[in-house]
Amino acid sequence: MSMSKLRTIHVVIIGSFACIVVIVGVYFLVIKKCYAQIGQYNTRLQTAEQTWQRKAQAERELAEAKLQNHLMMVRYEKYMREKMPSLSFADRTQGMIALWKEHGEVLGPLLESWPRKTGVIFAGGVQVPAAPTDPNSVDTSIIRIPVGTFSVVSDFRSILGHLRSWNRFNRLVQIDLASLSGTSPRMTAQYAVTVYIFPRGEAGPTVTIAGGGGGESAMGVMAPTGVPTPTAPTGVSSP
- Residue 207 near residue 136, CB atoms below 8 Å: yes
140-195 residue pLDDT tens: 889 999 999 999 999 999 999 999 999 999 899 999 999 999 888 899 999 999 99
Per-residue pLDDT, averaged over 67-96, amounts to 85
pLDDT at res. 195: 94
pLDDT at 154: 94
Q: Highest mean pLDDT: which of 21-30, 48-57, 132-141, 169-178?
A: 169-178
Query: Would you say 152 and 179 are in contact if contact means Cβ atoms under 8 Å apart?
Result: no
More confident residue, 93 or 220: 93
Are residues 77 and 189 in contact, defined by beta-carbon separation less than 8 angstroms?
Answer: no
CA 33, 34, 36, 41 torsion-angle sign:
positive
- Is 10's pLDDT higher than 90? no
Mean pLDDT of the chain: 78
Backbone angles phi, psi at 238, to 5 degrees: -80, 140
Per this entry, what is the length of the chain? 239
pLDDT at 217: 43
Q: 121: closest CA among 150, 157, 154? A: 154
Domain 86-200, what architecture?
2-Layer Sandwich (3.30)
List pLDDT tens digits, range 59-79: 888 888 888 888 888 887 887
pLDDT at 212: 47
Nearest CA-CA partner of 175 in 189, 194, 160, 188: 194
pTM of the model as a whole: 0.61
Output the pLDDT for position 69.
86
Rounded to an integer, the average pLDDT of 191-212 is: 84
Least confident of 149-153, 170-174, 216-220, 233-237: 233-237
* Contact indicator for 214, 238 with CB cutoff of 8 Å: yes
Angle between helices 107-117 and 156-165 (to 10 degrees): 140
**8-state DSSP, 182:** E
Q: How far lies 77's CA from each of 71, 81, 83, 94, in Å?
A: 10, 6, 10, 21
Q: What is the structure's pLDDT at 191?
A: 95
The CA distances from residue 147 to 47, 104, 215, in Å, are 63, 12, 25
Least trusted range by pLDDT, from 51-65, 104-118, 168-182, 224-238? 224-238
Task: Give the whole-angstrom CA distance, residue 208 versus residue 235.
Answer: 9
